[in-house]
Chains A and B, each alone.
Chain A
Amino acid sequence: DIQMTQSPSSLSASVGDRVTITCRASQGIGNALAWYRQKPGKAPKRLIYDASTLQRGVPSRFGGSGSGTEFTLTISSLQPEDFATYYCLQYYGYPRTFGQGTKVDIK
């Protein structure tokens, strides 16, 4: 199985901060990576797919980059609704595997 390792596991930030979350794959996955945001008690919401393609309707403050084994989600200016948990997902191989999550909370 392809293991996905996110870092950090948690971070504290303020509204307006630039935030970067990293996801590393245990083997090369090309650009077969998606990012999701999940608020407590809610279903996940897809933000990015194909490593860098912004999901329609998602604000442009979200950006994704990377290929192969290292990927980054950047939030350019953190908004109140962005305090949540973020997950990466690889869809290069089966089983599909998520990272363990990165919780972003208020500093």
Chain B
Amino acid sequence: EVQLVESGGGLVQPGGSLSLSCAASGFTFSDYWMSWVRQAPGKGLEWVANIKHDGGEKHYVDSVKGRFTISRDNAKNSLYLQMSTLRPEDTAVYYCARHGGPVGDYWGQGTLVTVSS
């Protein structure tokens, strides 16, 4: 059974940093692109970043470029999102999602990041 489990969310002050993790199981992690997608409270979905199977290609939405870094460790079946210089508008539930074809044939349950003083 495919499972994606996010962790690392929490409360952080504006300008702070946080690192999210997504533990994958039930499939060959190194065969798939992976994405992070977020959803601000009461708002729609926003794609944040994705990464190729081998980590050799990464893409970001403009609003997080230079502040967020997506990475993966295929030996540990894990996806990461390092977030720095956080802003209140980064407050959201962050989902990791597998690309079976395009993004999102499987999703994690999400982890909430709150940026507030």
Contact = CB atoms under 8 A, between A and B. Distances in A.
A binds B: yes
Interface string A35-46: 010100001111
A85 to B, nearest CB: 8
Nearest to A32: B102
B9 interface: no
A34 B62 contact: no
Q: Which secondary structure dominates where chain B touches chain A? A: strand
Interface residues of A, number: 23
A95 B61 contact: yes
Given A87-B45, A95-B47, A100-B44, 15 more contacts: A34-B103, A36-B45, A43-B107, A43-B108, A44-B37, A44-B107, A46-B104, A49-B101, A49-B102, A89-B102, A91-B102, A94-B59, A95-B61, A97-B47, A101-B45
